[in-house]
Amino acid sequence: MATDAPPPSKADPRLPSTEQFVEVQESAEFAELRRAHRSFAFPLTVAFIAWYLLYVLLSNYAGDFMGTQVVGNINVALVLGLAQFLTTFLIAWWYSRYAAAKLDPKGEAIKSRLEGDA
């Protein structure tokens, strides 16, 4: 039989109050955390969407170019299509490293301070 404690209720005194959450949300520290996230995520998102749309447009309107053989039966379209997957994984890896180095420490500091005040 499980002996886990029940989840904390809204009246649990250990939980930060609504006012504390609002105070943290309006703090300069939280604004810096949001800015750090947005300054990384938004430009990369825009760049990736542009890269994806370029691939789609080339596929639709530059058939001769996309059909150009690179090596054997491998053409430009296949290379660029596979590059889409590679780019996705590289961005995910890069974001993971960025978040671990820049975002997580700031978030943990905010969280520990908020939970410590509760």
pLDDT at site 15: 81
pLDDT one-digit tens code per residue, 57-98: 999 999 999 999 999 999 999 999 999 999 999 999 999 999
> For the chain, what is the largest distance between any 2 Cα atoms, rounded to a whole number of angstroms?
69
Residues 6+ apart with CB under 8 A from 100: none
Structure confidence at residue 99 as a pLDDT band (50, 70, 90): very high
Q: What is the mean pLDDT of residues 35-49?
A: 97
Tell me which of 41-45, 104-108, 109-113 is least confident: 109-113
pLDDT at site 27: 93
> Against a cut of 0.85, is the pTM above it?
no
The torsion angles phi and psi of 11, rounded to 5 degrees, stand at: -90, 5
pLDDT at site 11: 56
Q: Which residues, listed in sequence order, are joined to residue 74 by a DSSP beta bridge?
A: 71
pLDDT at site 16: 83
pLDDT one-digit tens code per residue, 15-26: 888 898 899 999
Q: Which residues, listed in sequence order, are joined to residue 71 by a DSSP beta bridge?
A: 74
**Selection from 99, 91, 9 nearest residue 51 by Cα:** 91
pLDDT at site 116: 82
Residues 6+ apart with CB under 8 A from 28: none
